[in-house]
Amino acid sequence: MSDSDDEVRFRRRTFAELSVEDLYEILRLRGDVFVVEQGVSEENDLDGCDPECVHVTGRDARGRLVASARMLPVASPVVVSRIVVRREDRGRGIGTALLAYVDDCLGPCAATMSAQARLEDWYGRRGWTREGDLYDEVGIPHLRLARPGREADEPR
């Protein structure tokens, strides 16, 4: 993403720091990907954890929201979830850049996630390792993945 037109800038904020417009865009992006594209129910996406999370957003040079993720810092280890890249923007390295930014935010903290099984190799190349067996979550095969760290620290 070296081209300035392709540059995505990431930012992290608590729920309280998000504007109404930011929250709408995050929920719209997640709805487009998880609900419309993948058939996950809105009830499963809107799990009540968003107010406790640190939200990461990625915007392109035009200011469009193209990626998002969230971290639940009150959990030990920290739970990373809702990693999403706009369909039209996939294949450009945005997901890799998003996960690198999340890893930077986590600092030395241990983290875990429930990831779609088809992405195990992709996450594995980025330092996440499988814990346990395959399971069904919202009708999609998932795996528990972990990133090592020191649990006593909090994410940045």
Residue 19 to residues 15, 31, 75, 121, Cα–Cα distance (Å): 9, 18, 24, 35
Q: Which residues of 60-94 are buried (b: 16+ CB within 10 A; e: fewer)?
A: beeeebbbbbbbbbeeebbbbbbbbbbeebeebeb
**pLDDT value for 94:** 96
Question: What integer best gives the mean pLDDT of the chain?
Answer: 90
Going from N- to C-terminal start, the domains of the chain cover 9-147
**End-to-end Cα spacing for the chain:** 24
pLDDT per position as a tens digit, 19-47: 999 999 999 999 999 989 998 878 788 88
Angle, vertex CA 20, rays to CA 14 and CA 47, nearest 5: 60
Q: Model pTM greater than 0.85? A: yes
**pLDDT value for 149:** 81
**pLDDT value for 153:** 46
**pLDDT value for 115:** 95
59-75: average pLDDT: 94
Of the listed ranges 4-13, 14-23, 126-135, 145-154, the one predicted with least confidence: 145-154
DSSP assignment string, the chain: --STTT--EEEEEEGGGS-HHHHHHHHHHHIIIIIIIT---HHHH--S-GGGSEEEEEE-TT--EEEEEEEETTSSSEEEEEEEE-GGGTTSSHHHHHHHHHHHHHTT--EEEEEEGGGHHHHHTTT-EEEEEEEEETTEEEEEEEE---TTS---
pLDDT band at 79 (very low <50, low <70, confident <90, very high): very high
Q: Which CATH class name applies to 9-147? A: alpha beta
Residue 111 to residues 48, 68, 79, 146, Cα–Cα distance (Å): 20, 17, 6, 6
